[in-house]
Amino acid sequence: MSNAATKHHMPISVIYFFGALGGLLFGYDTGVISGAMLFIGHELNIANGSFQYGFLTASTSIGAVFGAFFIGPLSDRFGRRHLLITAAIIFFFAALGSAFSPEYIALVSFRFCLGIAVGAASSLIPTYLAELAPAERRGTVGSLFQLMVMTGIFFAYVFNEWFSPQGGLNLSESISWRWMLGLAAVPAAILWIGSIYLPESPRFLVRKKDEAGALKVLRQFNPDENVVQKELSDIKVQASIPSGGWKELFGPVARPVLVMAVGLAILQQVMGCNTVLYYAPTIFISAGFSTHFALQSHIVIGIFNVIVTAVAVSIMDKVNRKTMLIGGAIGMAASLFAMSTAMLLLHAGNGNLGSWVCVIALTLYIAFFSATWGPVMWLMIGEAFPLNIRGLGNSFGAAVNWFANFCVSETFTVLLVAFEPKGVANPEGQGIARLFIVYGLFCAFAIWFVHKKAIETRHRTLEDIESGLRERAAAKGYDPETGQPK
């Protein structure tokens, strides 16, 4: 049962590019709606702040929960590559459907379908890249996914500006948002075509008894035959363990990774990352800057995100994962506390000082997030689960992340109002300031969590990580293969 894709020897860099390209669609489709909604509401008669308005923006996140939840078990059954092709097809038709939607229900439906593809990509791609890359390069290769996400967000900001009625194309409001949403079909088509020629994961091939196909793929990524043969031997040992399900996911072998994955997935969101990224213009306006400055700053933030993430990719295999997460949490907490203090200074009459401290603190926060928690969380979830439940485990972690994303996004405005002081003129900035203190406290908690609960994975093969989990379970009196008490 040789995999046809293994006969096409694409350059390694091209394989990694197409393998991570779904991240660009992830970033673009989640970032573009902020600009498109300015014009969708006018044409479809959706009031800003209404349930319809909020549900349209949330539909992608809801779809992502479903996509992330179901893609892992399916990829364990049908293969990473085939499911990546399927996700590309969904991206393509959902993007076109969004662009040509005649009314609200159709648009919500297509945005929900886009969410399914986004969730699938967030779960599938880190797993696929982790299973392809050699141990010494897995950090760099795995974090390409986050680099693509940030690149997609940047493109969304740029094309939101370009396709707007005030942009370079002079489009009408009724056409501009359709171009914004429909443009995602172009990279989706490229991903669709490129994925056809990608190799299948060697771990999946071994589980499907195609050792010859797995050997071809391993030789593409490592010229040392001795290393290849040892890796194949290690994969065969882990692949011989029967496929697991929910019982194994919550069992003693996988439990340390499950706790880590769920904790990292939730903490990445409750530390305020998407709130700061999505609401950066609102934050700048609250800090006393003009609307024009705020919108232009969004594009600058997008560029900065890509640059910082690219730097993080270059050092990912030189610094321990836990060190990066702890350092990032410290930096994010300090930045949030500084931003909160700056906004309180604004309302104490120190406007100029407070405004620029706020800008600097927000920029530093984004830098720390983009260099650490942005890429490392997805990387560690993608590489830590045992092979027999890897797809299921990654799906569960990604679904938890998207559910947390939905909860944080939907509660932001509610909490903002709750934290605003009563009987105070212009209280909005103080509400944000107080809310950021809460996010900063979650950053502080994350430092403890990573130190106590995270498992270091840098420069360890996937099989070595799994062996460590099974040895830990055996030391606690469980059978290392079945997870049953001895």
Domains and CATH numbers, the chain: 1-200 (1.20.1250.20), 241-486 (1.20.1250.20)
Cα(355)–Cα(385) distance, rounded to whole angstroms? 45
| Residue 478 per-residue DSSP state | B
Six token digits for residue 231: 């890796």
pTM higher than 0.95: no
pLDDT in tens, 11-20: 888 898 988 8
Please tell me the chain's helix, strand, coil percentages from 3-state DSSP, rounded to the nearest 5. 80, 0, 20
pLDDT in tens, 170-220: 777 778 889 999 999 999 999 999 989 899 999 889 988 899 999 999 888
Among 174, 18, 29, 173, residue whose Cα is nearest residue 94: 29
The single residue listed with the structure tokens 């071994």 is 206
Element (H, E) at 369: none
pLDDT top residue among 284 and 235: 235
Q: What is the pLDDT of residue 3?
A: 46
User: How far is C-alpha 411 from the chain's CA centre?
Assistant: 20
Percent of the chain scoring above 70 in pLDDT: 89
List beta partners, residue 478: 485
**Could you tell me if 174 and 40 are in contact, meaning their C-beta atoms sit under 8 angstroms apart?**
no
Burial class (CB in 10 A: 0-12, 13-18, 19+), 53: middle
Q: What is the pLDDT of residue 262?
A: 96
Percent of the chain scoring above 90 in pLDDT: 30
pLDDT at 29 exceeding the cut of 90:
no
Contacts of residue 82, Cβ cutoff 8 Å, sequence gap at least 6: none
Cα(116)–Cα(95) distance, rounded to whole angstroms? 12
Q: What is the pLDDT of residue 192?
A: 93
